[in-house]
Amino acid sequence: MIKTIDMLTYEYLKYSNIYNKIAYEEKNNNIIKLKRGLYEMDKDADPITIANALLSLSYIFFETALAYYGMIPERVYAIKSATFILIELD
């Protein structure tokens, strides 16, 4: 399960130093830091779920999704995400 820093601080309210507790859990491999403020609690989490959490407002790129559902014979080694870039023109 992916948790934000806010979720972890609420979960660890009973500890005197919440951030030391998070660092301790990370050091002991009980939680995995994905990026600043985003943690994974499950070591066997689905990599596609993690990819979507890391890049918000994105979707799994075509060849990755096709390989995931077994629709292409090729093996895909990387999970690719796609997103849009909004460009404002004057």
For residue range 48-89, what is the model confidence (pLDDT) as tens digits?
888 888 877 777 888 888 988 899 998 888 888 887 765 555
Contact (CB, 8 A) for 32 and 39: yes
Q: Residue 3 pairs with which residues in a beta bridge?
A: 39
Provide the whole-model pTM: 0.73
**CA pair distance 56, 79, nearest whole angstrom:** 15
**CA pair distance 90, 78, nearest whole angstrom:** 37
For the chain, give every domain's residue range: 1-45, 55-90
Give the chain's radius of gyration (CA, Å): 17
* Per-residue pLDDT reduced to its tens digit, 6-57: 999 999 999 999 999 999 999 999 999 999 999 999 989 888 888 888 877 7
